[in-house]
Amino acid sequence: MILTQMQLASAVSSSKLGRYNIVELALEWISLNRQSEDFRKLTQAEMINKALSDVVTDVATPEKIKELHKKQKRLIKADASREGQGC
């Protein structure tokens, strides 16, 4: 769910996270999801709005972001080991 500008401003101001933490989480969320179906076709502005909305609506929590980081690291390691085996 993408919030309107007014809803997003209200959600950011009433969030238990600080504004800077919200922006930091949103940037990490974008970085982790840039190639996903939900983000791939969005413009930069739409991507930022979606990421901010995801953070303030608890779609993207710090825990989910950490788990996604771990998952991507495991995938990178698996790809590197396959390349090392000459596959």
User: How many C-beta neighbours within 10 Å does residue 65 have?
Assistant: 19
pLDDT at 54: 92
**Nearest-5° angle of CA 8, CA 51, CA 11?**
20
pTM of the model: 0.76
Rounded (5°) CA angle 33-9-23: 40
Q: Inform me whether the pLDDT recorded for 66 exceeds 90.
A: yes
Give pLDDT tens digits for 10-44.
877 777 888 889 999 999 999 999 888 888 899 99
pLDDT above 90: residue 76: no
